Amino acid sequence: MSDEDEIILSELDDEDLVQQMFDDLYDGLKEEIEEGVNILLERKWEPYDILTKALVGGMTIVGADFRDGILFVPEVLLAANAMKGGMAILKPLLVETGAPRVGKMVIGTVKGDIHDIGKNLVGMMMEGAGFEVVDLGINNPVESYLEAMEKEGPDILGMSALLTTTMPYMKVVIDTMIEQGIRDDYIVLVGGAPLNEEFGKAIGADAYCRDAAVAVETAKEWMARKHNSAKSA
């Protein structure tokens, strides 16, 4: 594209600007996303509408293409990083306006495991879907998870393991939650390369998530169930 053809974001109408932001997110263009967010704010868009319509809308496309093997991890990380740039502007405004959130998740890699790319991707994609995410990092003993759940009051606990030797530690965390009588207070999602659905069931997790895109879909489904059961209760 030559300089003459360069798109001036501020000259686009709202609808075209949102479409352009979808493209910019897809291409991982952080500065353009930040500019787009600021333009929409100047146009008196509600922060929550910018989040859901422009950012989450764009990340939904990224998530679907990642799931279908059209995009790969490096591209998704770039898109998520661009999303983060937009989120940094919106976060304080969302807090001020008391915008509804989809849900809250505490996520961390289990004790003995220092892999974090998959976990980071899940965290970014969850933020991209409008969840609040508290990332505990790597090598988490059961105490870290319990403290974070008590302090943060999340809807979801996400655990990740990339080694067959650290997978069983997920059961330690879930068993401890059962002992303390808090297991049913949280949706527990597990993931990581060596895991599968059978393992997830065997250790008592609510669901095993194959990748970050599936994690987002699964989290949304479980949150919807949680809301429905709360209404009927």
pLDDT at 233: 61
Rounded to whole angstroms, the Cα distance separating 104 from 202 reads 25
Rounded to whole angstroms, the Cα distance separating 71 from 55 reads 18
CA 200 to chain centre: 20
Range(s) within the chain of domains with CATH label 1.10.1240.10: 1-100
Contact at 8 Å (CB) between 232 and 161? Answer: no
Contact at 8 Å (CB) between 117 and 72? Answer: no
Range(s) within the chain of domains with CATH label 3.40.50.280: 101-233
- Report the candidate in 63, 2, 9 with the shortest Cα–Cα distance to residue 32: 9
Instruction: Tell me the CATH number of domain 101-233, given options 2.60.260.20, 3.30.960.10, 3.10.450.40, 3.40.50.280.
Output: 3.40.50.280
- Give pTM, 2 decimals: 0.78
Domain 1-100 sits in CATH 1.10.1240.10: yes
Which residue numbers in the chain have pLDDT < 50?
1-3
Cα→Cα distances 41→10, 125, 215, Å: 12, 23, 30
pLDDT at 1: 45
